[in-house]
């Protein structure tokens, strides 16, 4: 099956395309740019050539006028200076494709910010899958190979093992794999929750500083992201901790070996994660959404997602009741809100008091493309 991806790249621009392993970056680029020169750094001979002599890139392509795709570019960060020279002195266009921002940032890819447009690719979204099964996607996630697999549980387990082996061990990112493995389990339990470095450090037997470094590894290798708190409130003091989400719903389930059943807290967290990821995808692909945050007051009021400071969203995986509106109403007293939505598994849209709308999750996903600042 060929998935029609929502990502759109201008063929006349150069890009840095980032995304976790197995989200489909290479497949997408080969389809969209079939005539491009393709340099695959996963091939050992290609990697060796450019790793030992980065100047080969300039020597081979100084007079080239087409598009060059460098896949897994983070494996050869020394190439950045050669890419920079070619962008300055030749008509070549580059698409640099990678699954880790760590080495690229260290090697100064930010110096190319004016010449490389940033793009991100995520796992498959609802709009990209012809047949969407909510239960299966909350359990196994939306990585293309997993969606197509007859054995998704096994493939997810292999994916987690591959990450530990290739991303962590090979790059020497952590000192002890057992401690990091334990951290991954605790991080999976903390998925879609506020992050407490101190509490996680006690469970892992490491320092809070080490836990902070571990979370940074997950973000640098694009396996997760932090959702910042909204703090510009007047009446109620806001919690300052961030929330953490893995980039795919299947990962925390695989790391914990758990089955997500409807009407359980785990199902609710996966449902929230799934819709936060759909919102993030809309921000990356349509580029109409500029910022995402969440809000929680010290007194316990909470809103799961605040989009561009004007659309407040609460996610509920069951039937919505009046008491589910308290967080949205409290935030509405703090700032002016354009939309107050409770997104659920209910099948019909309905309107509650004070402008609150209850939306089926499918309607919410459709509305995301129309949101703008």
The confidence score (pLDDT) of residue 370 equals 79
Q: Is residue 4 part of a domain?
A: no
Report helix, strand or coil for 128. Answer: helix
Whether residue 27 is found in the same domain as residue 168: no
Place of tokens 């509405």: 332
List, in sequence order, every beta strand (DSSP E) within the chain: 15-18, 37-40, 67-71, 93-98, 117-120, 193-194, 224-227, 243-246, 292-296, 302-307, 311-316, 339-344, 350-351, 356-360
Domain boundary among 120, 154, 179: 120
User: Are 199 and 256 part of one and the same domain?
Assistant: yes
Domains held by the chain: number: 2
Asked whether residue 3 is domain-assigned, the answer is: no
Q: What span, in angstroms and rounded, lies between the C-alpha atoms of 341 and 59?
A: 56
Task: Show pLDDT as tens, one digit a residue, over the chain (373 residues).
Answer: 789 999 999 989 999 999 999 999 999 999 999 999 999 999 999 999 999 999 999 999 999 999 999 999 988 988 999 999 999 999 999 999 998 877 776 655 655 767 889 999 999 999 999 989 999 999 999 999 999 999 999 999 999 887 766 667 665 667 677 888 899 999 999 999 999 999 999 999 899 999 999 999 899 889 999 999 999 998 999 999 999 999 999 999 999 999 999 999 999 999 999 999 999 999 999 999 999 999 999 999 999 999 999 999 999 998 998 889 999 999 999 999 999 999 999 999 999 988 899 999 999 999 998 776 5
Q: Are strands 302-307 and 311-316 parallel, antiparallel or unpaired?
A: antiparallel
User: Are 106 and 140 within one domain?
Assistant: no
Look at residue 298 and tell me if it is in a domain.
Answer: yes
DSSP 165: I
**Same domain flag for 245 and 137:** yes
Give me the domain span that covers residue 102: 15-120
From 120, 142, 158, the end of a domain falls on 120
Are residues 22 and 161 part of one domain? Answer: no
What are the Cα distances from residue 25, in Å, to 19, 83, 98, 198? 7, 20, 9, 36
Do residues 269 and 338 share a domain? yes
Q: Residues 111, 177: one domain?
A: no
Are 182 and 62 found together in one domain? no
Within-domain flag for 340: yes
Q: Cα separations (Å) of 13 from 6, 9, 29?
A: 18, 8, 14
In this structure, the answer to whether residues 102 and 135 fall within a common structural domain is no
Q: What is the pTM of this model?
A: 0.94
Is residue 202 one of the residues assigned to a domain? yes
Q: Is residue 5 one of the residues assigned to a domain?
A: no
Q: Rounded to an integer, what distance in angstroms lies between the CA atom of residue 31 and that of residue 335? A: 45
Tell me whether residue 28 is in a domain: yes
CA distance 214 to 220: 10
Residues 58 and 194 in one domain: no
Does residue 39 share a domain with residue 110? yes
CATH number at residue 50: 3.40.50.300
Same domain for 181 and 307, yes or no, is yes
Structural domain includes residue 42: yes
Show which of 120, 149, 168 is a domain's final residue.
Answer: 120
Strand-pairing partners, residue 356, are 340
């Amino acid at each position: 099956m060929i998935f029609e991806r929502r990502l759109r790249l201008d063929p006349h621009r150069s890009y840095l395309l980032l995304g976790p392993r197995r989200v489909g970056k290479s497949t997408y680029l080969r389809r969209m740019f079939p005539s491009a020169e393709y340099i695959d750094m996963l091939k050992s001979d290609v990697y060796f050539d450019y790793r030992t002599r980065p100047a080969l890139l300039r020597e081979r392509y100084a007079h080239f006028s087409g598009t060059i795709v460098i896949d897994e570019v983070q494996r050869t960060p020394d190439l950045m200076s050669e890419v920079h020279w070619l962008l300055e002195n030749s008509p070549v266009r580059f698409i640099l494709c990678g699954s880790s921002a760590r080495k690229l940032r260290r090697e100064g890819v930010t110096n190319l910010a004016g010449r490389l447009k940033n793009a991100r690719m995520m796992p498959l979204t609802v709009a990209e899958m012809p047949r969407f099964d909510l239960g299966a996607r909350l359990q196994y996630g939306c990585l293309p190979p997993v969606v197509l697999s007859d054995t998704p549980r096994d493939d997810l387990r292999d994916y987690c093992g591959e990450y530990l082996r290739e991303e962590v061990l090979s790059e020497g990112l952590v000192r002890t794999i057992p401690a990091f493995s334990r951290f991954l389990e605790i991080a999976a339990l903390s998925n879609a929750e506020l992050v407490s470095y101190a509490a996680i450090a006690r469970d892992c037997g490491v320092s809070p500083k080490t836990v902070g470094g571990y979370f940074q590894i997950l973000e640098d290798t694009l396996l997760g992201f932090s959702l910042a708190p909204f703090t510009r409130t007047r009446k109620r003091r806001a919690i300052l901790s961030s929330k953490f989400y893995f980039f795919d719903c299947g990962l925390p389930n695989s790391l914990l070996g758990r089955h997500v059943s409807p009407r359980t807290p785990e199902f609710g967290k996966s449902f929230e994660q799934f819709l936060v990821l759909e919102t993030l995808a809309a921000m990356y692909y349509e580029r109409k959404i500029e910022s995402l945050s969440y809000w929680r007051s010290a007194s316990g009021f909470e809103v799961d997602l605040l989009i561009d400071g004007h659309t407040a969203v609460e996610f509920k995986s069951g039937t919505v009741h009046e008491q589910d509106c308290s967080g949205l109403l409290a935030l509405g007293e703090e700032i002016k809100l354009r939309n107050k939505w409770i997104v659920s598994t209910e099948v019909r849209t309905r309107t509650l008091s004070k402008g609150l709308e209850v939306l089926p999750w499918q309607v919410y996903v459709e509305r995301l493309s129309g949101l703008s600042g």
